[in-house]
Amino acid sequence: MKIKYLGTAAAEGIPAIFCECDNCKKSRKAGGRNIRTRSQALIDNTLLIDFPADTYMHFLEYELPLAKIKNCLITHSHSDHLYPAELIMRKKGFSHINDEKPLVFYSDEAGYNDIKAVKEEKNISDDDILVNKIKLFKEFEVEDYKVTALRAAHDPKSSPVVYIIEKDGKTLFYSNDTSEYPDESMEYLKSLNKPFNLISFDCTEACRNATYVGHLTLDRCIALREKLFEAGAADEKTIFVLNHFSHNGTNVVYDEFVQIAKANKFEVSYDGMEIEF
Ligand SMILES: [Zn+2]
Ligand SMILES: [Zn+2]
Ligand SMILES: [Zn+2]
């Protein structure tokens, strides 16, 4: 399985739109991996995770094959993960797509409702866009992938989930936006009793001392990794990637943070990063 990180920032991007803070200034000046767009990932060039406003930029930057992509998992309804206003562009006439299959979204309640509302308002047919409401803790199939959504610890109004994605014996745990998982999700992970090959963590606040529910810091990622080891969800071969960074984090600028994370045996995502496992 291959994951390509297309966007690796929290809501505002890095540098953040409208911002003059030091992290934003430093990131802009350093360029390259220090620039982060809003959250999106692509599995094996075919299965999309999230649909932020920066999808268009990812389409330009990475030749994202959007006409060919038929399935998209939505983690939650926040705008850095789901930007439904763009969906009218998938309607016939706004785009010309050779094969007739619709783009199918999978989401829990809030994202499902937002996509449905845009479909109704803009009169987008099922031939162009479909949306399925997922059932949590219940495996479903998308293409050749087995997918399971677990409840995330994040703004409940956004119906947040994290995804287990499995194919050919390889398993990815795509885990943002969330802080330490709710008990029901932790119990589910324990019940699987099988280590994941790659775990992608939310590390929104980097080295900042933040304790709120919804996102994580490096210290809390270290503790959560330990819990996943104890739960049997990770072993010494599991690759851990830190993802979803905010300019409000401490030491969050990539060039600075990558050293700190490496010393703690974490990979750090950047826009365009690919990992095959
Ligand atoms: Zn986010
Ligand atoms: Zn800033
Ligand atoms: Zn969010």
Task: Give the ligand whose atoms come closest to the C-alpha of residue 11.
Answer: 1
Separation of CA 26 and ligand 2 centre (Å):
9
**Domain encompassing residue 68:** 8-276
> How many whole angstroms separate alpha carbon 172 and alpha carbon 137?
16
Distance (Å) of CA 266 to CA 4, 91, 154, 211 = 17, 41, 23, 20
Residue 100 reports pLDDT greater than 90: no
pTM, two decimals, is 0.98
Domain with residue 174: its CATH number is 3.60.15.10
* Nearest ligand (C-alpha, residue 253): 2
- Average model confidence (pLDDT) across the chain: 97
Q: Please, how many CA atoms are within 13 Å of residue 98, restricted to the half-sphere of its CB?
A: 5
Share of the chain above pLDDT 70, in %: 100
List CB-based neighbours of ion ligand 2 within 5 Å.
16, 19, 21, 24, 247
33 Cα–ligand 3 center, Å:
22
Nearest ligand to residue 160 Cα: 3
Residue 3 falls inside a structural domain: no
Output the pLDDT for position 12.
97
| Spacing, Cα 51 to ligand 3 middle (Å) | 13
Q: Does residue 31 sit within a domain? A: yes
pLDDT digits (tens, 9 = 90+) for 4-32: 999 999 999 999 999 999 999 999 999 99
Q: Which residues contact 16 (CB under 8 A, 6 or more apart)?
A: 24, 247
Query: From ligand 2's centre to the CA of 265, what distance in Å?
Result: 27
Assigned domain for 2 exists:
no
Please give the average per-residue pLDDT across 200-225, as a whole number. Answer: 98
Does residue 271 belong to any structural domain of this protein?
yes
Q: What's the number of domains the chain is made of?
A: 1
Using the mean position of ligand 3's atoms as its centre, give its distance from the Cα of residue 99 in Å: 33
Rounded (10°) CA dihedral 80, 82, 83, 89: 140
